[in-house]
Chains A and B, each alone.
Chain A
Amino acid sequence: MTASIQTHIRNFSIVAHIDHGKSTLADRLIQVTGGLSEREMTDQVLDNMDIERERGITIKAQTVRLSYKAKDGQTYVLNLIDTPGHVDFAYEVNRSLAAVEGSLLVVDASQGVEAQTLANVYQAIDNNHDIVPVLNKIDLPAAEPEKVKAQIEDVIGLDASEAIGISAKTGLNIDQVLEAIVARLPAPTGDREAPLKALLVDSWYDTYLGVVVLVRIVDGVLRKGMRIKMMRADAAYDVDRVGVFTPKMVAMENLGPGEIGFLNGSIKEVADTRVGDTITEEKRPCAEALPGFKPAQPVVFCGLFPVDAADFEDLRAAMGKLRLNDASFSFEMETSAALGFGFRCGFLGLLHLEIIQERLEREFNLDLIATAPSVIYEMEMNDGSVIEMHNPADMPDVVKIKEIREPWIRATILTPDDYLGAVLKLCQDRRGNQIELTYVGARAMVTYDLPLNEVVFDFYDRLKSISKGYASFDYTITDYREGDLVKMSLLVNAEPVDALSMLVHRTRAEFRGRAMCEKLKDLIPQHLFQIPIQAAIGAKIIARETIKALRKDVTAKCYGGDISRKRKLLDKQKEGKKKMRQFGKVEIPQEAFIAALKMDD
């Protein structure tokens, strides 16, 4: 692969609402430009993690360098970044946008503009991107490209007259997209002769290469063998390899201004690299660092405990390994009266939590219990000190607390008019304050301020279910506000289970307590004795359910001395018990801790 002429480089990200077809468009671009052979091609080829493939969503942004021979006869280098659509991974989008000059804004022509369309396009505009609107899925009978064009103009204020109608699935008009990238997106600026200045976009751990760093060169040239310096981290390393992704890793001699690629060298740990840092040459540093960007902040916390206490050290090792590739997740040791040793972990959102838990279980063969997710509360104490609390079990004595503050978000929800009433009720029930209500074509767009702790567990699921899947949702955290919050405990068979305790707003406590007791009644299997389940604030019981004792199980015949079959059943029962955790006399299934929080309203 040869070095590229700067005027012939185009860097862009593909942004859209979840599922609008970003990764499928990336497939077509790779295919049409010959980045992969037919044999190497699969659907959403850039979604290479097992979890991405199974769930059909993108979690990690991916970069690909394509070589495109345009109609003007010239060959261009196109660096595309496919980004995730789910709100939990907004951070991935954010840093991708900082590495490029333009965006393809993909809108599903059968769905129209959705909440993440807005969130992502506004971010692209904030990054001074030139934007090419693309209307995808026009092969679908329900596609209404003209209406969607009008929406883009009305709501976003972008000129959509030259929006390209495509089908990423069939490949229709992909050539037009490629031409538009060349014609309508700018070439990168940058001084080849200046000292090296590059943005550290991402880094991860590769089993063969060790730490791999994704960089965008702004000025100067990054060469193999160079000694580089990370400006903010103030550390220097030798570069062994530089290269690009086609999407396969291909080595290069150097990378010049405007190019996006990887380097690898004497860096030992991903923790040594800071996303957003500026990379320069040690002996000829650049004068000023790039502005960079804020690291991802975990917003949801929960405890992760091994079902089998003996797996604690394995869990620690597994978390360490996972964190190598996912710096947005944090963990520190925690002890629980009920669950023993485990870790308090921070996540970007509930989907992120689910994914990390699933990866730990699958890739490291662990069985885990996740406790009730919590947001970060601020406690202002009577003595004037302020405590950050991620874990309801750490709640200080209430008489010492002057004020409890909780994080609030600003949420944008788009919904067909038919479901507006239900959506408003949901937001209202969750203590929301309505800020704005406007219309995008036939759809309502509402803006609400909501406490994050009302949204974290199941708001998104509820929203999808009350709107039959049509409403979309995006949010950003805005500020901390005082709230009348109390600690609610759950007692199973008269014993408090700290892993189920949570902070709730006083006005919501009874409702939540009742919902949790009802859920737990279904989640905990019948035992040989009766089990009371109670929710309490302090010593006051606010809700109660009872699991009746098991009275009859199936007495199957034992035929012709076939004990093996009975044994299989017994082994299955034992397996089931292994996935439960004993609290006093009661066994609680591992998934109950999270499932108990999901409310049916």
Chain B
Amino acid sequence: MTIGLHPAPGPLPAPLLQGREDWEGQKAATVRPDTPSLRPAQTEGGFGVYVHWPFCLAKCPYCDFNSHVRHEAPDQARFVAAFRREIAHMRDLHGPAEAQTVFFGGGTPSLMEPATVAAILEAINTAWPIAADAEITLEANPTSVEAERFRGYRTAGVNRLSLGVQALEERDLKSLGRTHSVAEALAAVSIARATFGRVSFDLIYARPRQTPESWARELARALDEGCDHYSLYQLTIEPGTAYERLYSAGKLIIPDDDHARALWDVTQEVMGAAGLPAYEISNHARPGAEARHNLVYWRYGTYAGVGPGAHGRLTAGAERRATFTERQPERWLQAVEAEGHGMVSQEMLDTFTQGDELLLMGLRLAEGIDLPRHARLAGRPIDPARIAALADEGLVERSGDRLRVLPEGFPVLNAVIAELAR
């Protein structure tokens, strides 16, 4: 089912390999009688675990992630205990599976002690054995302080680092509220590359005053770092952020649609020419270096989400459950300590919704979606006339069972999906 995408094996996490037998034993103890709903989760799209670390040193003005700034450093041991309980709870809900990927996102996970990361990985491995070739990613801010912990993460089992560089222009780093300089970020990138091998580099474009020329130069500089994965996100104005307030007050001017389109076009050109085409609407990789964890989302696979404000999609047979946990870190802690989990909502997704979710995720990928799978999830196929109309405009392409969005369609993906999903 993969088209042109080959998961990179990546170096094996040494500490995990050592404890292998123990974990097998523990796993055997927790497996329940083999009822249909408790069979290992179907692997369509794969299975991964997302861990959310909700703290940051400062809040970036564009950011609407679940990130919180605290004067006092959080008690990491207490969080580890809570993570352990919530992971065990999710394991009960979802049943056994092999974790093919783990992702530490945030917030700023690189504020975690390496021991915290190691303990959480151990808890995951107890619940769902982590595959020998698993991809274990951690998001990090590229400051010198954090770079000092990189080795420790590696030892804990992390084998891929995703660095929030965001810009390679000092002026823009400042206005984005980032606390690192360009030089510091690039230094962190090279330490990361030496430590992990697999490193991803995040940049934000369509920033105020950005021109296609300056963005092309910035991309070239980023490519010079030789990473094999780049996430290039369009700056969006999200509700409730400082940027939104500035924007509505007319104090922040961002590129209009035509300008944003020009920046998008430059992105595709430069990255394509460098051999890192977009495999997802905002993600570029050398073939084989795609982010396997994110592919689980995009292929509409199964994932457990633990920690404050984490989303999950758990499956049991044909059922798919959407989980969401309390966003506020302290309240999440209390809930987990009292009830064993911090979930505030669980929704059994009806077929209709599952079909929509597959479209929303799958069409972000260059490989597109499998139409029979969509029809199965949605309970009905997409109206062929709609596909044909979009194909006529050169926005999508249908070949055999697959439906893919074409390069002309990606910049208007929301509108394309809205056409297909009615």
Contact = CB atoms under 8 A, between A and B. Distances in A.
Interface of A: 527-529, 550-564, 566-567, 569-570, 573-574, 577, 585
B236 A560 contact: no
B212 to A, nearest CB: 13
B84 interface: no
Given A550-B412, A563-B313, A573-B414, A558 B297 contact: yes
A546 to B, nearest CB: 15
Interface in B365-422: 389-390, 393, 395, 410-419, 421-422
Nearest to A529: B393
Interface string B56-94: 000000000100000000000000000000000000000
Candidate in A556, A559, A560 with the most chain B CB atoms within 10 angstroms: A560
Nearest to A525: B415
A560 B305 CA distance: 8
Contact of A553 (B233, B282, B390, B412): B412
B297 to A, nearest CB: 5
26 contacts: A551-B257, A552-B258, A552-B412, A554-B234, A555-B282, A555-B410, A555-B414, A556-B234, A556-B238, A558-B297, A558-B364, A560-B50, A560-B310, A561-B50, A561-B303, A561-B305, A561-B311, A561-B313, A563-B297, A563-B360, A564-B324, A566-B357, A567-B360, A570-B421, A574-B422, A577-B422
Given A559-B65, A574-B421, A551 B356 contact: no
A560 to B, nearest CB: 5
B189 to A, nearest CB: 20
B356 A561 contact: no
A558 B413 CA distance: 13
Interface in B236-261: 236, 238, 257-258, 260-261
Contacts of B264: 552, 555
A554 B238 CA distance: 11
A564 B412 contact: no
Contacts of B414: 553-555, 569, 573
Contacts of B103: 560
Given A554-B414, A560-B103, A570-B421, 8 more contacts: A551-B257, A553-B414, A555-B234, A559-B65, A560-B65, A560-B105, A561-B305, A562-B311
Interface of B: 50, 52, 65, 103, 105, 233-234, 236, 238, 257-258, 260-261, 264, 281-282, 296-298, 303, 305, 310-313, 322, 324, 353, 356-357, 360-361, 364, 389-390, 393, 395, 410-419, 421-422
A566 B281 CA distance: 14
Question: Shortest 4 CB-CB distances between A and B: which pairs?
Answer: A552-B261, A573-B418, A553-B414, A561-B297
Nearest to A578: B422
Contact of A557 (B233, B305, B322, B418): B233
Contacts of B234: 554-556
Given A550-B415, A564-B311, A555 B356 contact: no
Contact of A528 (B310, B311, B361, B412): B412
Contacts of B322: 563-564
Contacts of A560: 50, 52, 65, 103, 105, 305, 310-311
Contact of B353 (A527, A556, A557, A567): A567
B282 A570 contact: no
B353 to A, nearest CB: 7
A551 B65 contact: no
B407 to A, nearest CB: 13
A527 B393 CA distance: 11
B50 A570 contact: no
A560 B296 CA distance: 11
A551 B360 contact: no
Contacts of B395: 528
Nearest to A574: B422
Contacts of A556: 234, 236, 238
A554 B297 contact: no
Main secondary structure of the interface of A (DSSP, over half): loop
Contacts of B411: 551-553, 555
A566 B297 CA distance: 13
A318 to B, nearest CB: 26
A326 B261 CA distance: 53
B206 to A, nearest CB: 9
A555 B313 CA distance: 22
Nearest to B48: A561
Contacts of B296: 561
A243 to B, nearest CB: 54
B236 A574 contact: no
Given A564-B324, A567-B353, A528 B416 contact: yes
A558 B361 contact: yes
A556 B417 CA distance: 14
Contacts of A557: 233, 236, 282
A553 B234 CA distance: 10
Nearest to A585: B389
B394 to A, nearest CB: 10
A577 B356 CA distance: 16
Contacts of A561: 50, 296-297, 303, 305, 311-313
Contacts of B257: 550-553
Nearest to A577: B422
Contact of B393 (A528, A552, A566): A528
A247 B102 CA distance: 71
Contacts of A559: 65, 105
A558 B236 CA distance: 12
A74 to B, nearest CB: 64
A528 B415 contact: yes
Contact of B281 (A527, A555, A570): A555
Contacts of A551: 257-258, 261, 411-412
A563 B419 CA distance: 18
A566 B418 contact: no
Nearest to A559: B65
A542 B258 CA distance: 30
Given A552-B258, A561-B312, A574 B418 contact: yes
Contacts of B324: 564
A551 B257 CA distance: 7
Contacts of B310: 560
Contacts of B52: 560
Candidate in A554, A555, A556, A585 with the most chain B CB atoms within 10 angstroms: A555
Contacts of A558: 297-298, 361, 364
Contacts of B413: 553, 555
B353 A528 contact: no
A524 B215 CA distance: 33
B326 to A, nearest CB: 15
A583 to B, nearest CB: 14
A567 to B, nearest CB: 6
A564 B321 CA distance: 12
Nearest to A553: B414
Contacts of A550: 257, 412, 415
B105 to A, nearest CB: 5
A559 B389 CA distance: 31
A558 B390 CA distance: 24
Contacts of B361: 558, 563, 566
Contacts of B353: 567
A574 B419 CA distance: 9
B51 to A, nearest CB: 10
